[in-house]
Amino acid sequence: MQPYRMASFNRPSTPPSNPGSGRPWMATSSPRKALFRSPAAIEDTQSADLQLDKMEVEQLTENCVKNLQKEIHEQRLNDLRKKMVWLTETDWKYKRPEELIGLEK
């Protein structure tokens, strides 16, 4: 197992667990570090995580709505195409409006 490094490019996203106890690495390192950690920093990271979660949910919802609107629009276009084909196929059955109102004979 590699030692836990402080550089941001080498730091894993979650601290490694202590294989013996199953507790996180920070909890077994030193009670003094846990004692002097700022609770405000913990709350800030939790609120930042909450904000990120909210933003992710909003983004996923927006993407789903856009996709749904696109599908509905495509369905409407397909329905209009079908109606247009039907109208061109049955056009011979009906007189033109100009003939009906007497402008043409």
pTM (global) more than 0.75? no
pLDDT tens-digit readout, 19-74: 555 555 554 556 666 666 666 656 677 788 889 999 999 999 999 999 999 999 99
Name the residue with higher pLDDT: 69 or 103: 69
List the alpha helices (DSSP H) in 1-104.
Answer: 25-29, 31-36, 39-89, 97-101
So what's the pLDDT on residue 94?
86
Check the CA dihedral 72-78-80-82 and report its sign: negative
Do 35 and 43 meet the contact criterion of CB atoms below 8 Å apart?
no
pLDDT for res 66: 98
Q: How confident is the model at residue 84 (pLDDT cuts 50, 70, 90)?
A: very high
